Structure 1
Amino acid sequence: MPILSSNYNPPLFYKNGHLSTIYAGLLRKVPGLEQQRERITLSDGDFLDLDWSYSSKATDKVVVLLHGLEGNAQRAYMKGSAKAFITAGYDVCAVNFRGCSGESNLTYRSYHSGATEDLIEILGHIISLDKYSKYFLKGFSLGGNLILKYLGEGNSVPSQIKGGIAISAPCQLADSLTQLLTLKNIAYAKRFKKHLIEKLRAKQELFPDLISDSDIQNVITLKDFDDIYTSRAHGFTDAMDYYRQSSSLQFLPNINIPTLIINAQNDSFLGEACYPIEEAKYCENIYLEVPKYGGHVGFYGRNNITYSEERAVDFFSGL
């Protein structure tokens, strides 16, 4: 499809990509959303926690939300999206990836940008409830990449899934990593690394034979973490192999349901390769919107409803 034009024009303060990102990630609050937790057991014996929110009226539509790196279903961008959807008449299943719901998961592996096998099990579970006829997928950052990969990598996508949305999606993971390792993103990278090291120490307590003190000491950058843990725990040769296999960019031409990607021009986490302009031009199911502003999972909007939340409701309502 042609590249979509965007009319997003936030107040002056939020035209700064970093300020938009920081507000959305650290300062925004979303009150008044009820979430009911469900724990499901995966085929390998591990568990996932799903946080459900329900429309006030009976509905046959459900949106599955996937968070970003070191996020969870309680992050403001997840709660804000859930609140917008239930107000519009959808039920919402907000997924917490393995180890992200406040409790360490049981296996050596955890989650990563390409772990579509877990999404397949989640969707299988929700479909088995036999409650909905229309399913929609929305992911943020890492979760956006995962959704795009799932839709295009050759899975037997259930016919009930009608559309997908990826917000601030690092479609080319190595390119995104390169951006995160630059000086402009040093504060974000340090924050991610701090949380990942905490997770790795907790994992070491469960699997002391697989994670050594020297392994943890050798994690200097985010790439080191992926070399030392992510790749080993999930069957990749190294970090670059992980990025290569898990990047969604290569799978976009195979997506066969309407899918919206919203990546802001001033998203400091994304390099040029993360904007799939050529793919969107020639893939009839890819709708790419590149607003000038928005930062990374920012998109400030009035009345505590972000632009991307409004766009998501509008996009899915047309399917």
Structure 2
Amino acid sequence: MTGQLHPAQFHPPRGLANRHVQTLLPRLLPRRRLATSKEVLELPDGDFVELVWAKPSPVSLDAPIFLLFHGLEGSIDSPYARELMATAAALGWRAVLMHFRGCGGMPNRLPRAYHSGDTADAYWLIGQLGHRYPHALKVAAGVSLGANMLVKLVAEQGGDGLDLAGAIAICAPLDLGGCAQSIHHGFARVYERHLLRSLKAKVLDRLDTLPLALDRQSLLAIDSLRDYDDAVTAPLHGFQGAEDYYQRASAGRLLGEIELPTLLLHAADDPFMPAGLFEQLPPPGDAVRVEIARHGGHVGFMEWRDGGLRPWLSHRVAAQLEDWCSPAGSAVWRHRRRVSRSGS
């Protein structure tokens, strides 16, 4: 892979190039059918995350594993999650999604939540998958908040610190402060209000048990994601405020430190992102490939294919999975694992 920026091979249908149309289309179309099973994974701090596995599972314990991290207030019911999980399963991969704390069917136990830079749970899960399936090639993908988290994780751990052959980051908000500003203007406020409703509803249910200097009225009055992060996300997770959280949790500053093969997919017109996002960030390292589409919105990328509207994301991700699972790609991963285990 090369660290240069590349144009993504995505072309929206005529009349459907608008960034908000692209963002909303996947939520308006029928969702992919997906049979699943659930698992509760206990965490070292006494809390838990809920996993969802695509069914039926591959018979072989050596089948490659596709691990997915969703976006802010997302879940297995998010259109992109069902689509990507079903795509990987159809290719013969063992597909699993990790719900961030409190995003599954049950509230988490501890007086905290999750955030864009919270890599510990993902690191623990990848380690557990390594114990269960030591000989299986593994690839992780993240969407939106989950993508920023994943980029931060692979940068922190270096090329041999994770049992992964590669990572895929989709619409990653690599500059959290800039994204909080972008989503607070124009039509994008529709998305901001939707996210705030979901976030505040969860906090309201537990407000009496959380260490926050907020009453019900003050929480309901919050009108921006930045104010929410300042009043809730930051104090719950040990940050001094929204600016401290954004600075420490944003993964964009780490792009040059990534050693694991990583694909970043981005739309230049993403309404969640500041314009020219990658022009404001350090150059990515040689292990990183950034593909930028002119259109696509936020986790949209709907194209006309096979006689209907189809998600380009699943098409592109499938191609990348097949590349990393090919004999050549698999050989690179196995060589890296041998080097890592030898300590050389």
Q: Normalising by structure 1, what TM-score? A: 0.92
Corresponding residue of 2:81:
78
Equivalent pairs: percent with the same residue?
27
SS in 1 for 2:123: helix
What residue ranges of structure 1 are gaps of 5+ in the alignment? Answer: none
Change (3 A) 1:279 1:258: farther
Query: Aligned partner of 2:46: which letter?
Result: G
1:12 aligns with 2:14: yes
Distance 1:106 1:155 in 2: 31
Corresponding residue of 2:37:
36
Query: Aligned to 1:228, which of 214, 226, 231?
Result: 231
Change (3 A) 1:45 1:155: farther
SS in 2 for 1:284: coil
Change (3 A) 1:239 1:48: same
Query: Aligned partner of 1:258: which letter?
Result: P
Q: Normalising by structure 2, what TM-score? A: 0.86
SS in 2 for 1:261: strand
Q: CA deviation at 1:306?
A: 1.4
Number of paired residues? 317
Distance 1:132 1:14 in 2: 44
Query: Aligned to 2:207, which of 204, 209, 213?
Result: 204
SS in 2 for 1:263: strand
Contact 1:218 1:224 in 2 (8 A): no
1:290 aligns with 2:295: no
Corresponding residue of 1:312:
317
Q: Deviations over 1:199-234 (max 9, x none)?
A: 110121443876432541442211111111100010
Corresponding residue of 2:247:
244
1:299 aligns with 2:304: no
Distance 2:72 2:31 in 1: 20
SS in 1 for 2:5: coil
Q: Deviations over 1:161-215 (max 9, x none)?
A: 0101111111111011110111231111111111111011012144387643254
Distance 1:131 1:310 in 2: 28
Contact 1:62 1:132 in 2 (8 A): no
SS in 1 for 2:41: strand
Contact 2:234 2:241 in 1 (8 A): yes
1:144 aligns with 2:147: yes
Query: Aligned partner of 1:203: which letter?
Result: R
SS in 2 for 1:147: helix
Corresponding residue of 1:179:
182
